[in-house]
Structure 1
């Protein structure tokens, strides 16, 4: 039965996805074809332009995310597909303008039908919005949330993972909460469809994973450092013995050359293109309080090398130096705007050009934080195996207030899966950060009412002793 439901689910998603992508394709060529009839008949222009649209669209959706209704919330899907479609439209539109530069149309280059282009974008945004909200509505009308069992080791761990699950309450419904040492743990697992193993010791976690696998239960578990190392493992056979090989992960000579080449080209181009924004930011800071425009701070990069990172100053001068917090009164009025739109980070293109940083990599931490985090998590030093970056996987997938341990996990995933294509993808995905809600989000009332209150008595009975 589950197999049939899974096939029906994939069919529904495939049909909706096909209709959406067809609508985006038809809207571009149907509307742009009003002033460019050659797009609506067999011609070299239509063939090349349509191929450009398809190839660019496939590349952009691979970078930003596909139409994965039932897996993600509607707004992130709209943001990712909308951005992918906009870039695809721009690339195709420029290609069309180039194709139309010929003796039969335009003797010199010019942008074609700019008004129609904006209409295309507006129509496509409406299509994406309707298909995303409508698709998720259809999906969650047909499919109930998965019955979930949380297996963890403390009240604090339960609060963390249940809050994360509650954000996706349409996908998951918490039905069981168990301490990993509970006597009736395996019976609870069988009563659910999906099991979340969070903060469970590796030995017990391994036993639970084997049990869930044997009984066809989906599994989510929080990774440890050893799990990250195994991501790039290779299966080898010596004689007839199967082994897992974990090769030492270092950038090859050609990878280091390409990464540095991309850093120089991109940072130099970014400095030139954003120079007007630099002037506006500098003038705003000066007008605000008359203080220094730039702020320098010692940070750590590859192999623990210390360098000075450049930023636009967003805090008052001569104040204590520590990581910003919510409602930080050290931040100036101009600084709040610069931070909100990440404009204070622009001077770091100089650090990239000078070779202190890379375009993509773990964000450089304050020296004080490096000391504190490494003291609590010795593995935090592994982040220093590569050059610090302006953007990285932890910045895109995580939040500003992501804990040091989870930042470490995300950064190690990047280090262990490095490739030039991964860097390009992360650079493109950095634009998504601007569409993400504020990182300092609080628990909502329904979370407390539905989950914490529901399991309060159970939590008190199971973890009261550990809290004492």
Structure 2
């Protein structure tokens, strides 16, 4: 097949820099909309002298939001990301003008610029997004593996709204033979796991020699090899498998940042919490805060704090159960604060206390931890770090994602941990506030996708 050009890092840097220049043009346009052609020098002078810092802010904010990572975005995702990045840039401009004592920099221009730049930058991002689709093109995928796991992979690809990857082949048996026969018909081969090691190594060797793109699943064996340390002893090179933990030095810095951010957010969100507390008290009888035992680092249990969103006796007879859609136990106020994540705000006190971090695996209840650990022996590895208010699984997964898939996200987070990664996940958490899927109950997010291979026969080659 013809190889299409890739969307590489250099192209992305160029696109971000052009966007930064465009953001400066938007501010000039905002000055024009405010003052017309007669812009006072005293008002525009501070901006003209320090526009480089505005460009740096644009670049950093958009990199943290992942605005120009297009591979799994839809148009609405692009709009939300653009709007939120411009909102953060607006606050950055306000802070910059205050720190630089630019008292003559009009606040009205900053407000006008938010609307102007959101529109202009979105149109620019949309044009780049369409260009990306044209340059990158749709990729055909061959899914390889046992029937049940391969079917699950096909369903996941089918659920992607942007259709960037199309499954055209599914190989369910005699893997190497069929890959050799059919790999020229696809762009990507995806091994879903549960393939005998000797066969898997032969497949790797063939695909590497054929220069064919390979996807592999995040089973534990593959996760172990993420972020290895390379060592050299005389003329021998050795790969040291890194542990599923965060170093003591990184952990200390992470803790200091958690304390600062939680304090700032408690101050900023205090009016919201006061209003929420009053609304809960007026809506239904019972306490304002809800405490529930959860598990955090080193298997330690703690009481997580949430605004109460259910009736007082929600689990008095049923015992521990997962929330479902249209749950009768959820109050009227509860539905709103759950959908907007306001119910999670009291967890900032848990972060301040040290039970949780701003970013990390979401804490589970001991009842479910025991269940999951029995089904997956690697489940407790996620407790090598503090539980978090948000995490990798919350940003990139869905509420209905099963615990094994969430575990893979959590272990990838630990393996790939960096301070930059934490900030990126915190920024991208803002986007999912607009995604109602991630706040639904388990049955509401279940889909009607087929569980039978026969329903896919007209769309792909299925080789059994």
TM-score (norm 2): 0.85
State the alpha-carbon separation in 2 of the partners of residues 59 and 12 from structure 1. Answer: 16
State the alpha-carbon separation in 2 of the partners of residues 155 and 428 from structure 1. Answer: 36
Aligned partner of 1:372 in structure 2 is 371
Q: Cα 1:69–1:311, aligned 2, differ >3 Å: closer, same or farther? A: closer
Q: CA deviation at 1:285?
A: 1.4
Q: Cα 1:45–1:121, aligned 2, differ >3 Å: closer, same or farther? A: closer
Residue correspondences, number? 449
State the alpha-carbon separation in 1 of the partners of residues 425 and 15 from structure 2. Answer: 27
Deviates more, 1:20-29 or 1:345-354: 20-29
Aligned 1:270-419 pairs, distance under 5 A: 270-320=265-315, 321-419=320-418
State the alpha-carbon separation in 1 of the partners of residues 208 and 158 from structure 2. Answer: 21
State the alpha-carbon separation in 1 of the partners of residues 134 and 108 from structure 2. Answer: 39
State the alpha-carbon separation in 1 of the partners of residues 459 and 48 from structure 2. Answer: 67
State the alpha-carbon separation in 1 of the partners of residues 295 and 344 from structure 2. Answer: 16
Aligned partner of 1:428 in structure 2 is 427
Q: CA deviation at 1:113?
A: 3.0
1:95 aligns with 2:90: no
Q: CA deviation at 1:174?
A: 2.2
State the alpha-carbon separation in 1 of the partners of residues 420 and 129 from structure 2. Answer: 31
In structure 2, which of residues 255, 261, 276 is the aligned counterpart of residue 260 of structure 1? 255
1:122 aligns with 2:121: no
In structure 2, which of residues 209, 218, 223 is the aligned counterpart of residue 223 of structure 1? 218
- Asked if the contact 1:70–1:136 (Cα under 8 Å) also holds between the matched residues in 2, the reply is no
State the alpha-carbon separation in 1 of the partners of residues 31 and 185 from structure 2. Answer: 55
Structure 2 spans left out of the alignment, 5+ residues? 439-443
Deviates more, 1:127-136 or 1:59-68: 127-136
- Asked if the contact 1:140–1:170 (Cα under 8 Å) also holds between the matched residues in 2, the reply is no
Q: CA deviation at 1:276?
A: 1.7
- Asked if the contact 2:43–2:106 (Cα under 8 Å) also holds between the matched residues in 1, the reply is no
Q: CA deviation at 1:78?
A: 2.7
Residues 96-152 of structure 1: per-residue CA shift (max 9 Å, x gap): 3554547xx5xxxxxx43333232222222223323433444444566522221112
Q: CA deviation at 1:44?
A: 6.4
- Asked if the contact 1:39–1:45 (Cα under 8 Å) also holds between the matched residues in 2, the reply is no
Secondary structure of the residue aligned to 2:52 is: helix
Aligned partner of 1:453 in structure 2 is 455
- Asked if the contact 2:382–2:407 (Cα under 8 Å) also holds between the matched residues in 1, the reply is yes
In structure 2, which of residues 169, 177, 189 is the aligned counterpart of residue 195 of structure 1? 189
Q: CA deviation at 1:283?
A: 1.4
Q: Cα 1:32–1:86, aligned 2, differ >3 Å: closer, same or farther? A: farther
- Asked if the contact 1:69–1:135 (Cα under 8 Å) also holds between the matched residues in 2, the reply is no
Structure 1 spans left out of the alignment, 5+ residues? 106-111, 463-468
Between 1 and 2, higher relative CO (CA 8 Å, sep ≥ 6) is seen in 2
Q: CA deviation at 1:87?
A: 1.5
